[in-house]
Amino acid sequence: MPAPVPRQRAIPAAESGQAPAAPPNGGSVQDSAEALAAAPCTTAPSENAAAPAGTAPDRAETAVPTNLTLLLIEDDPGGSPIVPDLLDQAGKPIRVRTARNLTEAERLLTDDVHCILLDLALPAPGRAGGDDDELAVLQHVLELAPRHAVLALTSADDTERGAEAVRVGAQDYLVRDELDGRLLSRAIRYAVERKRSDSAERRLAEGRLRAQENARLERGLLPTPLLEGSPLRFAARYRPGRSRALLGGDFYDVVRTPDGTVHAMIGDVCGHGPDEAALGVELRIAWRALTLAGLCGDELLGTLQQVLEHERADDEIFATLCTVDIAPDGCRAGLCLAGHPSPLLVRPGLPARLLPYDDNGPALGLLSGARWPRMQVELGAEWSLMLYTDGLIEGRVGDSGERLGQDGMVDMVRRQLTAGLHGEELLQAAVSEVRDLNGGELTDDVAVLLLDRAP
């Protein structure tokens, strides 16, 4: 154990390179403390500067920048345990500020303070003291300086309170009569690094928690198809264009109404940010509610346009949409297109082809009072119907910069069908090949859904 250090009547800031020494005659502790508080934060006088006449050069007058600053909060600065030569790990002096109470400490607690040395015997503001309030002063300092490292200072016969101070939030505790310059310097460096580590770990944990919450939220916003009682099989693939996002501006849904009709929808909000993703979710939920309420075709799309116009953040935001309502017998369907690519129909013994899109209406949000014709299409007894967003067809093809386009997508799907792919495997292969043709990740969101009917 280090030998006890004699109590000093003034903080030896001059010997630590922090401020001029108190004058041997006529000076006071108050004068020294005020000079210390006013000392510069970063540099001391030049090492090569001439010493005042009649004095010897002093180590405290060297031009060594100060990296760490300590705020000492103690009601008896004259009896302070601070000793000379407080140095950081690089051998540079640690600057010391002194406050006799918490009010003065709050004034001196600037951003360049790294560590606080707090006397636990200090009374907290508005508290009379006593056993019930023995850590009130520490709790007050922790609330006052949540980002600063704190060292608790206690007496040799009160180490239990020091240990409790660490449990409450201090980085460490020190016993007054055991301090020397080396021990205190090391404790300050340790406290500062531990606080930095704790803060970084807390931020990392908070970031992970936010990411987990966002992931759960985004997964919960993806639809669960309502197809109970329908013979149709459903498959879907979704790939957002935003990095590390689970949800983009594309959206889709499938529901079966009580009359046996299966309604499918896929859409795309222009843009790729979180606002567009949120708007896509709102449109999907609105579509499901309106469909279950019995709306269809032009009436449904007109109502969705009103929702979009009310919810969008900018008047230039629009959304494309494709809706299909498949009759209960599964052999025919109604098709409405609002500026969206036409679905792909696959039937046994016939080449895959796009459904008609001559009566394609405008995207939602572009024209007030627009109309969206509903086309009747024959599906047959056995078929597959693929709905997709433009992210699937707007990827590049090799180094030429040419886009895949609908014709390229149709040829690609035909090859995959010839290879015997169906359902989930077909969608996975389609999305993967489009990505490979693009030479890497696609910048746009991609959503694809597939409905199959087998006799």
DSSP one-letter string for 305-331: HHHHHHH-SSTT--EEEEEEEE-TTSS
Largest separation between any pair of C-alpha atoms in the chain: 111
CA distance 77 to 110: 20
**How distant, in Å, are the alpha carbons of 136, 160, 176, 203, 441 from that of 191?**
21, 19, 17, 18, 45
**Average pLDDT of the chain?**
81
Task: Tell me how crowded residue 333 is: count the other CB atoms within 10 A of its CB.
Answer: 26
Which of 50-64, 178-192, 212-226, 343-357 shows the highest mean pLDDT? 343-357
SS3 364: strand
Q: Is the pLDDT of residue 273 over 50?
A: yes
The residue type of 79 is G
Between 76 and 279, the more confident residue is 279
User: The tokens 């006088």 sit on which residue?
Assistant: 45
Q: Lowest-pLDDT range, 43-52, 88-97, 234-243? A: 43-52
The confidence score (pLDDT) of residue 178 equals 81
The confidence score (pLDDT) of residue 47 equals 35
Task: Tell me how crowded residue 407 is: count the other CB atoms within 10 A of its CB.
Answer: 10
- The pLDDT of 120-126, averaged and rounded, is 79
- The pLDDT of 285-294, averaged and rounded, is 96
Task: Tell me how crowded residue 34 is: count the other CB atoms within 10 A of its CB.
Answer: 13
Task: Tell me how crowded residue 188 is: count the other CB atoms within 10 A of its CB.
Answer: 27
Between 451 and 399, the more confident residue is 451
* 220 token code pair: 């919960």
DSSP structure string for 377-395: EE--SSEEEEEE-GGGTSS
The confidence score (pLDDT) of residue 400 equals 75
Per-residue pLDDT band for 14 (boundaries 50, 70, 90) equals very low
* 310 token code pair: 């009310």
Per-residue pLDDT band for 219 (boundaries 50, 70, 90) equals low
- The pLDDT of 424-451, averaged and rounded, is 92
The confidence score (pLDDT) of residue 272 equals 78
